Amino acid sequence: MTGPRHGYAPGEEPVAPTLDAQAGTAEAGLQRAGGRHAASTDQPDDEAGISTGSITATGSITATGSITATGSITATGSITAEGSDSATGSDSATGSITAEGSDSAEGSIIQGSDSEAAAPVARTLLGPAEIRDLAEMLGVNPTKKLGQNFVIDGNTVRRIVKVAAITAADTVVEVGPGLGSLTLGLLETGARVVAVEIDERLAEQLPLTVELMHEGAPLTVIRADALKITEIPDAPTRLVANLPYNVSVPVLLHLLEHFASIRAGVVMVQAEVGERLAAPPGSKVYGSPSVKAAWYGRFRTAGKVSRQVFWPVPNVDSILIAFERRALPLESEELRLATFALVDGAFQQRRKMLRQSLSTVLGDSTTASTILTEAGIDPTERGEQLTVDDFLAIARAWRAR
């Protein structure tokens, strides 16, 4: 949920360099994405070991007293405390976790080995505390202008990935990856991910975060406005994104127009917008987005999403929209443009009869009535009653004159 986004004024969009996440930035990622209390070497012994944020180390963490954090405790080495070891977030180490007192976490305890020799467990998704830490470190204050609402719930991330049916053979394009919540979930499948991010800070940090959490994962980050992009490395096969709410439909239609290789996908959008995209003819919410989406394929709702899985919590509900592209284009690009012009005209005055609402596009009401009749459409119908095939029939009759 979105996520970042598309707030640059025309002509001010940044140049779109490509950042490769496989360029050996693991150490930089550890330094920049570790949280409020990051360290690149073993933590020195500390009598108390108390933190009000998160504690992260690339070595080991040792204290003769207790280790306590209101965020998470993470170490690539071991965590040892003669007192107690507690965290309100997660408690993880690739080495061992040892506490002569108690070992507790309100979140999860993940470790390589302890006195019972537990097997290593990889942490591959970001938690709420880590997301807030990253935002604070980067100076990112989520704004409505850029449509920034970051997903902080791992279950929601995996739900999106499951609905999208991603496989290791896919190349997925993600728009507005933000701090990387969904990106990491997509990479878990083994698929290649191309992330398009307009915010420079987020675009620079994402490869570092991914390298830390999922070393060597096939990620490419492109810093650009998704509404302007026309080329993507390795033709994408799927679109999966928490789209910025303020530009969700334009971005979706732009990508479907310019990347015929996208065969299917799942997008998270504002519930009202999603219901319009998937609406059938004759329904109250059927409109221009419904017809234009139907030009490219079949769209359906795939479940509501709670507001509470986002940070900050949005003022609107969200929904997942899944789609499958048509095996073959409905018609030529020329007729697509003509059809979309008719759709825009019909829904700008949706309560008027087609002979009136299309009079501006087709010349006048008399000409509109003639063309509609030639297309087999009753001139007294309204746009909300027509299918995409009906609009296409009108476009063909119009272009045939």
What tens digit of pLDDT does each residue of 18-45 get?
434 333 333 333 344 444 333 333 444 4
Return the percentage of the chain with pLDDT > 70, whole number: 68
**Of residues 220 and 28, more confidently modeled:** 220
CB-count exposure of residue 145 (10 Å: 0-12, 13-18, 19+): exposed
Give the pairing of strands 55-57 and 318-325.
unpaired
Confidence of residue 280 (pLDDT cuts 50, 70, 90): very high
- Stated as kind and residue range, the H or E segment containing 364 is none
**Torsion angles phi and psi, residue 266, rounded to 5:** -140, 130
Confidence of residue 141 (pLDDT cuts 50, 70, 90): confident
DSSP 97: E
Q: Reply yes or no on whether the pLDDT at 345 is more than 60.
A: yes
- Residue 65 has what pLDDT? 52
Query: Which residue shows structure tokens 């170490």?
Result: 75
Confidence of residue 72 (pLDDT cuts 50, 70, 90): low
**Of residues 146 and 268, more confidently modeled:** 268
Query: Which residue shows structure tokens 């080991």?
Result: 60
- Residue 100 has what pLDDT? 40
| Global confidence as pTM | 0.71
Domains of the chain, start order: 18-28+127-325 (3.40.50.150), 29-113 (no CATH), 333-399 (1.10.8.100)
Q: Reply yes or no on whether the pLDDT at 71 is more than 70.
A: no
Task: Please give the average per-residue pLDDT across 369-385, as a whole number.
Answer: 98
- Residue 111 has what pLDDT? 36
Q: Reply yes or no on whether the pLDDT at 108 is more than 50.
A: no
**Least confidently predicted of 57-66, 145-154, 272-281:** 57-66
Angle between helices 248-258 and 288-296 (to 10 degrees): 30
- Residue 124 has what pLDDT? 80
- Residue 45 has what pLDDT? 40
**Least confidently predicted of 97-101, 134-138, 288-292, 371-375:** 97-101
- Residue 147 has what pLDDT? 63
Query: CB-based contacts of 289: which residues, under 8 Å, 6+ apart?
Result: 249, 253, 273, 276, 277
Long-range contacts, 76-79 (Cβ 8 Å, 24+): 76/30, 77/42, 79/111
Q: Reply yes or no on whether the pLDDT at 183 is more than 60.
A: yes
* Pairwise CA distance, residues 11 & 49, whole Å: 51
Task: Please give the average per-residue pLDDT across 287-298, as a whole number.
Answer: 98
Tokens of 167: 């496989």
Q: How far apart are the first and last CA of the chain?
A: 46
- From residue 113, alpha-carbon distances to 76, 96, 106, 118, 119 in Å are 12, 5, 20, 5, 6
- Residue 227 has what pLDDT? 97
Q: Reply yes or no on whether the pLDDT at 332 is more than 60.
A: yes
- Residue 149 has what pLDDT? 87
* Pairwise CA distance, residues 63 & 45, whole Å: 5
- Residue 142 has what pLDDT? 76
- Residue 144 has what pLDDT? 61
- Residue 56 has what pLDDT? 54
